[in-house]
Structure 1
Amino acid sequence: MSDERNSNRTQDAPGWGKLILRFIISAIVIAVAAFITPGFRIEGLWGVIVAALVISIVNYLVERVFKVDASPFGRGIIGFIVAAIVIYISQFIVPAMTVTFLGAIIGALVIGIIDMIIPGKTI
């Protein structure tokens, strides 16, 4: 019985590793987008980490509740608009983050472009 539990833990480990790696990549992508996008600002490393966490959670909830892929290029114009809205709404949860609506739109475009360059789902 204990061997079965150990094999299950071993199988779960790569999943957590992938999740952590995706989160780190998401934080980097969000930081780059905030740096180069006018009207999109995140203050400090902790602000970037919290913003990545909040955006990931809101994105997950949107995907689960509305059955819409919220990645900027996930579902064409709908996914792009949803991604911009997720970025815009996140500023009300993350104190270190400020985004104008135009900044959210441009940020979603930048994140989408970076997402196309980096393999795998980042946000």
Structure 2
Amino acid sequence: MINLIVKIIVSAIAILITSALSIGVQVDGFMTAAWVAIVIGILDWAINKFTGIDASPFGRGAVGFIVAAIILYITGRFVDGFNVSVIGAVIGAAILGIVDSFLPADKKVM
């Protein structure tokens, strides 16, 4: 349980950093970022479960990058306080991939 909480916190921080660095991505605070991390984790799990595609922006090439951008865009539709434009989803996926590369692999949700 503690591992899951740490993963959500680290992912929420990555989302906040992405929001600060990206045009078209806006998050209203840490709790919203935590909800975004949870929704991204669920969508990533579901896509991976049904298609076998892992949504890692840089780890899985172009397909992973596109899936990560789509997940960000869809998450913006589900979570109040998290707004993402189409361009923001693409830029956000790139920035999230860069930020994720600096975080420990066992601490990430996405």
Q: What TM-score does the superposition give when structure 1 sets the normalisation length?
A: 0.82
Deviation beyond 4 Å, 4+ runs, structure 1: none
Structure 2 SS opposite 1:92: helix
Q: Distance in 1 between matches of 2:10 and 2:45?
A: 16
Number of the residue aligned with 1:93: 78
Q: Distance in 1 between matches of 2:64 and 2:8?
A: 20
Gaps of 5+ in 1: 1-15
Contact in 1 for aligned 2:8/2:37 (Cα 8 Å): yes
| Structure index of larger Rg | 1
- Identity, % of aligned positions: 38
Let me know the Cα RMSD of the aligned residues: 1.2
Structure 2 SS opposite 1:91: helix
Structure 1 SS opposite 2:78: coil
How many residues matched? 108
Shift of 1:49: 1.5
Structure scoring higher RCO (CA < 8 A, sep ≥ 6) equals 2
Instruction: Show the 5 A alignment for 1:49-64.
Output: 49-64=34-49
